[in-house]
Amino acid sequence: TSPFAWLRTRFYYLLIRLYFDQEFSIEEFTRGAKQAFSVVSKLLSQRKLDLLEELVSAEVLQVLKEKISLLPDSHRDALAADIDAIMYTTEGDVRIYYDDDGRKFVSILMCFWYLNGANLPDEVPDQAKVFQIVFGDENTKEKKHLLTANYEFQREFTEGAKPDWTITRIEHPRLLE
């Protein structure tokens, strides 16, 4: 992350604490985002899309229904991320905005890197390489892929709105395209 982007996100966190939620903590948010990512990615992998209605926006859910039905099993299996297999997490873009009706929103893009043992081909459809890691010796080789995912979380801070974060964007590059 560039120093400018780091400062910008820290400034937005300060604004969130000052004007929207005095108890907001990026560390606590990140822990919750990792848990949500793990749950949602497993449900996607299992095609249990009806269980995502409270977690994912209706627009994203509709797109997911179309994409998941077309995925080969190996790609669908690769969507699942155990919370213990998340190697690195960082926040991407943070936005604060108001809609035409004066409603207040905050969205935070989270980027996840996770290990998955799905049986993916060495070359994925867009011809990009997926990082592979081999564990064990010659007799007990276990191949894992280091995959990435981007999930955007949005919360409405208008008075009277539910205090829940909703996933408004799900990207699994090279898998869910």
pLDDT of 57 reads 96
pLDDT of 177 reads 74
pLDDT of 157 reads 95
Sequence-separated (6 or more) residues with CB below 8 Å from residue 118: 74, 75, 77, 78, 80, 145
The full set of domain ranges for the chain reads 3-112+148-171
Using alpha carbons only, give the angle 173, 65, 156 rounded to the nearest 5 degrees. 80
Question: Which residues in the chain come in under a pLDDT of 50?
Answer: 124-129
What amino acid is encoded at 63 in this protein? V
pLDDT of 153 reads 98
Q: Is 174 left (phi over 0), alpha (psi -120 to 50) or beta?
A: left
CA separation, residue 161 to residues 155, 164, 175 (Å): 9, 9, 34
pLDDT of 136 reads 60
pLDDT of 127 reads 38
pLDDT of 128 reads 43
pLDDT of 131 reads 58
pTM of the model: 0.88
pLDDT of 37 reads 98
Calpha distance 162→77 (Å, rounded): 33
